[in-house]
Structure 1
Amino acid sequence: MKKTIKKLENNIVNALTEVCETAKDDIDGFIWLTHTVDFSNFPSSLLITCVFDTNASLNNAKAEAQDTQLIKAIHKAMFRIGVVLKRPKHNVTFNTEEAGFKP
């Protein structure tokens, strides 16, 4: 991995860690997030998955527009490190451990 790619990956991880820690405190049922990326097609290939404990928790978060709050927080965090997500709703997905999601 080239130095610039490694630095970018570290910046992404740090930014997402901040969002994750805040979300764990603010959103009931939110437990973690993960990401995948293909740097040859970056940033459109960046996919961030926000994971909740149960389907009910995810549904409650969506009913209270907390999914939109998470998308906005991720978008802002990426922007702060110089990553512009043209369609953040396509870069962020939601899943649950109850549904069997594993990293």
Structure 2
Amino acid sequence: MDNSVFQIEPLAPLTIPADEDTELFVPKGVCAKLIRFAVEDNRLTRVSFTGGCDGNLKAISALVEGMPVKQVLKTLKGLTCGKKSTSCADQLCKGLEEYLEEE
């Protein structure tokens, strides 16, 4: 048996490249680590997720692209994932709600 000692280095802090054209939201309680989106004329545009279930999140992004923000909230708010009390789609809604509060 090899008794080598491994030294674990701490991970560097996550740096998020600035993009003035999109909003950033850090979701909680889901696999996705970052949600980017833009709102133009009360419609959701340029939606992307970092982390999470790649295919499903690409599908959600494609489906909500161009949809009115209020319709996105009505459709996706409150959805859960497995035994979690939230989902990536629900977290997108939380990000949109924060955005609307700041407007």
Please indicate, yes or no, whether the TM-score normalized by the shorter chain is above 0.5: no
Q: Which has the larger radius of gyration?
A: 2
TM normalised by structure 2 equals: 0.34
TM normalised by structure 1 equals: 0.34
By relative contact order (CA 8 Å, sep 6+), the higher-ranking structure is 1
**Structure number with higher helix proportion:** 1
